[in-house]
Structure 1
Amino acid sequence: MAVILPSFEDNTAAQDPLLPWLLSIKKALDEWCSGNHSGATDLDKLLLDCITTFKHHSHYKNDLRFLKIWLLYLEGSKDFEKVFKEMEETEICIGHSLLYQWYAFFLEAKGLWQDAHMVYQTGISRKAEPLELLKEAQSLFLDRMSERFGGSSLQKIDEFIESGKSSINPWASSTVKDLLKKINRQIIKYDGYHPSNKAYPGKVALSSLNNSSRNKIVEIGGKKYQIKGCAGQGGFAKVFKACENSNPDDVVALKIQKPAFPWEFYMYRQLDQRISEKERSNFGFAHRIHLYSDYSILVCDYLPQGTLQDAINSYVVIGKCMEEVLCIYYTIEMLCILESLHNVGIIHGDFKPDNLLIRYAR
């Protein structure tokens, strides 16, 4: 994939230290495109010298021009995995979807389809912006895989993993399907498990729910829920605050996910069984799950205090830092939570401030 660098006026070079490098790299690229390949080694050295000079400059970490320098260097590197890892470690545009779109496309061109799929998943889990463009790129990627394999794209991609590979890819659909098959006999016995082979039948399309869906009524499992607002959104699910049967005193959280995902409900019930009663209140509680062929809806307790990320942002908004003693307190709480999980053989796969709710003890 060719990366085109724009031209710049020389009179701005003094204000932008990266500019002279961009001009030199553009000149070297022009020579290459004109058929003069004798300077290929010099171009690689020029790219590396530029990266070494500016990679620790915070000013350029989110500069798309600098990202393109990295991508040019990665494209010509034999050890491209090492280069990408260094980009992540130095946080080069890790919040921009272009990083994941380009690298996934690069891997796809090399036939590394499973790795490309993982890159898309990583970018989406990090909510790289613009997120919708990244999701669209992933969708087009899966369409191409479907055409290539003539069937269930995700399953075929997962089967591409070398048979001798000992590690397990938790994102692989085949891994998830195998695990769900193993737990199926157990999960169907859990209280609150409501499966259906049909699509969601409600009059209000779940895909239409958003921040402005206040007071819309959705019917789930014979009950009516009045939407009061969007409490959170991730790469695969949205969480809504809702009143059950329009009762303002009976507030719940509805986690709506596509495709359907029963695993989280299973883990909540495992917490009920494995975690001691004293520590159980440190973790969320799921009342029930309604599974459809296209969606899953998890009905959980609603905690109005928000997430740890919300608490952090409340300080950022007023230009202050959270007090050290409070940082220590939250850190201890997080370590205790992880210790409790690990003691009962559970690993949390997405432990971050966005997924940590604040609870005021009664």
Structure 2
Amino acid sequence: MALPPRSPRTMASPVRRSPLASPERASPRSISDPVLPWLRSIRKALDELRRDPNNGGASHLKALVADCIEKFGSEERYRDDARLLKIWILHADEIRDFDRVFRMLEQKGICQGHALLYEAYALFLVAKGNLLEAEKVYQLGISRNAEPLDKLKKMHAMFLNHVSEIAQNARPDSKVVVSSIQGQEQSLMNPWSASTITDLLRKKDSDIKKYNGYHKSNKVYSGKISLTSLQNSSRNKVVELGNIKYHIKGCSGQGGFAQVYKAYVDGNPEDVVALKIQKPAYPWEFYMYRQLDQRVSAAERPNFGYAHKVHVFSDLSVLVCEYLSHGTLQDAINSHLVMNKLMEELLCIYYTREMLRMLETLHSAGIIHGDFKPDNLLVRYSREDLTEDKEKFKGRTGSWHDQGLCLVDWGRGIDLNLFPADVEFQGDCRTSGFRCVEMQERRTWTYQVDTYGLCVIAHMMLHGTYMSIEKKTNADGSYLYQPKSSLKRYWNVDLWKNLFSTLLNIPSNESDVPILRSLRESFEEYICSNPQLISKLKHLLIKQKASLCSA
């Protein structure tokens, strides 16, 4: 039961307490920054309203704010502008529907990194007596490292003190709400925050030092070749690490914090590895690879990549990994799109079965990948001719054992063994197109971060586009999430409909292994139901290999 509601007007808006902009005369800035005259007018209207609340200025202010939002609210140049955020907050205050405004800002990606957004929304929720939702909003802002983070954390601490005071004087029914908030503090966290990773690495430091291939130096990297400048001109340079010379043959991938290079070990073209250079140093990924070594069976282990060793310096780290040369599942999808075609449905079914098996293996071992997308799925091809034997296909034995996918990039991996048994996460992956329903709606999650990624990939294979979802209301008032795109009549509609409706509507954060196993078996049964399908699949994979490897 919620605490007795109070009108949102009883809480002073952070915007109403602070100036929007300093008074300025007309200047050339107004031309390059067209929102300035509107800010001045709104400030003037606010000042007049404070001096005389009864002169009818409230309606004038409301109209000004609404017009300003309509004119500039969606402009790209103001997407991260704190001044316009204050106008959005005034607008939410005026229409008394902060929930809708917050959802709209989140959907459009506007000002998500500003602490003021979460502070204002939390105050609005507190004013309504909705303390549980206010706690979630504070946690969401902190998990996103909204700036200024220190101020947001201070406001959150004040909120928790306020909750504690309520607890001392609350009615028994209200104490349920308070105890829920206090309990959430123990079980809700962002598994990807720097503080969480640092704390976990500190706790596991003694174990990590014992892992085979772990090499650490407290000094900065001082090799002859600057690792941070490799991306400008890397080919044929030689990097020496631990008395081994790696001959760089080119950059095979890069992101905001890491670059990956193909390299020959001591110049041997038969011994090829991938060097992942990360700044600042990030040994967490090496830890996750060693967990895979320990907790995944030998039969399934090749599906998740290998890390041979890691060199950790005070300024950067170098992870030495297995190198696979056949491209990614994203490349396979794109190879069809460039010819204005879509991937054959049978290939989609096969790769979906492979992904379901992967997640079934990982989640049963208490591991979440956390960044499940086609760029991180390397394509594997068997060195032997694929057999059409149904049992070998189903059991992934013989030539089918080396055929499939390999999941790499474990930097966002989550080891559930390091968290309480009832843990629920609140972090946001911030990967466009791959934020699960729970992240989009600011709810807690666990395995959904992986299963939603699987659904997006399946949608990309089938439709050639990212997945958009819609929320439908059932007759009993419950909700059903499903892709907006329609399934083609000649597809296996029941198979796909079951996949999407099941994985997009998992009812709790508990283990999803039985669900994944059941879905995987349904995909296997379809392929094995007709010997001609395995034969067709074999030839499609041969054709795909020829196409990708010649590109």
Q: Same fold (TM over 0.5)?
A: yes
1:224 equivalent to 2:245? Answer yes
Match in the other structure for 1:209 = 230
- Mapped to 2, the partners of 1:186 and 1:208 lie a distance apart of 33
1:86 lines up with 2:107 in the alignment: no
Residue aligning to 2:76: 64
Q: 1:342 to 1:107 in 2, by over 3 A?
A: same
- Measured after TM superposition, the shift of residue 334 of structure 1 is 1.7
Which of 57, 70, 74 pairs up with 2:88? 74
- 1:271, distance to aligned residue in structure 2 (A): 0.8
For residues 120 and 352 of structure 1, do their structure 2 counterparts lie closer, same or farther at Cα, with a shift above 3 Å needed? farther
Aligned-residue offset at 1:296: 1.1
Partner residue in 2 for 1:240: 261
Going from structure 1 to structure 2, the CA distance change for 1:6 and 1:336 (only over 3 Å counts) comes to: farther
* Matched residue type, 2:364: N
C-alpha change, 1:160 and 1:30, in structure 2 (3 Å) is closer
Q: Is the Cα contact below 8 Å between 1:213 and 1:227 reproduced in 2?
A: yes
Gaps of 5+ in 1: 8-22, 122-137, 149-153
Correspondence for 2:363:
342
1:261 aligns with 2:273: no
Residue 104 (structure 1) aligned with residue 95 (structure 2): no
Instruction: Summarize deviations over 1:26-67 as a string: whole Å, max 9, x none.
Output: 98667425547632222454567x59xxx9xxxx8xx62795
Structure 1 residues 248 and 110: alpha-carbon distance in aligned structure 2, compared to 1, 3 A threshold? same
Shift of 1:116: 6.0
Identify which of 281, 300, 303 aligns with 2:324.
303
C-alpha displacement at 1:278, in angstroms? 1.2
- Cα deviation for residue 252 of structure 1 reads 0.4
Instruction: Deviation per CA, 1:80-138: give whole Å up to 9, x if none.
Output: 6764543444xx3x5xxxx4xx44245399699986674469xxxxxxxxxxxxxxxx9
Q: Please give the alpha-carbon distance, in whole angstroms, between the structure 2 residues aligned to 1:358 and 1:168.
A: 34
**TM-score, scaled relative to structure 1:** 0.67
1:253: how far off?
0.3
Identify the residue that residue 348 of structure 2 maps to in structure 1. 327
Q: Distance in 1 between matches of 2:80 and 2:360?
A: 41
Task: State the match for 1:274 in structure 2.
Answer: 295
User: Whole-Å Cα distance in 2 between the matches of residues 159 and 233 of structure 1?
Assistant: 39
How far apart, CA to CA, are the structure 1 residues paired with 2:323 and 2:226? Answer: 22
Alpha carbons 1:107, 1:113 under 8 Å: kept: no
* Aligned residue pairs, count: 298
**1:159–1:328 CA distance, 2 compared to 1 (3 A):** farther
Q: Is the 8 A contact 1:307 1:355 kept in 2?
A: yes
In the TM superposition, 1:147-186 aligns within 5 A as: 164=182, 165-166=185-186, 167-186=188-207
CA drift of 1:346 comes to 0.7
Match of 1:351 among 372, 387, 410: 372
**Deviates further, 267-276 or 311-320:** 311-320
Which has the larger displacement, 210-219 or 266-275? 210-219
Q: Which amino acid aligns with 1:86?
A: M
Q: Is the 8 A contact 1:114 1:160 kept in 2?
A: no
Residues in 2 aligned to 1:195 and 1:237: alpha-carbon distance in whole angstroms: 18
Q: How much has 1:177 moved relative to structure 2?
A: 2.1
**Partner residue of 2:42 out of 18, 32, 42:** 32
1:294 to 304, 310, 315: 315
Within 1, Cα distance between the matches of 2:315 and 2:237?
20
Residue type of the partner of 2:116? Answer: L
> What is the aligned-residue identity percentage?
50
Q: Which AA in structure 2 matches 1:179? A: L
The 2-side partners of 1:315 and 1:161 are apart by: 53
Give, in whole Å, the separation in 2 of the partners of 1:320 and 1:278: 35
| Alignment check: 8 A CA contact 1:107 1:116 kept | no
Stretches of structure 2 that go unaligned for 5 or more consecutive residues are 1-19, 22-28, 50-56, 121-136, 162-181, 384-551
Taking a change above 3 Å as real, the CA distance of residues 335 and 71 of structure 1, as seen in their structure-2 partners, is farther
**SS of 1:282's equivalent?**
helix
In the aligned structure 2, how far is the partner of 1:257 from the partner of 1:113? 31
Distance 2:284 2:369 in 1: 13
Equivalent position amino acid for 1:267 in 2: M
Paired letter, 1:41: K
2:62 is matched with: 41
Relative to structure 2, which stretch is displaced further, 249-258 or 175-184? Answer: 175-184
Contact 1:240 1:255 in 2 (8 A): yes
- The structure-2 alpha-carbon separation of the partners of 1:325 and 1:214, relative to structure 1 and needing over 3 Å to count, comes to same
Taking the aligned partners of 2:264 and 2:324, their CA distance within structure 1 comes to 13
8 Å CA contact 2:85, 2:117 repeated in 1: no
Cα distance, 1:115–1:107 mapped onto 2, change above 3 Å = farther
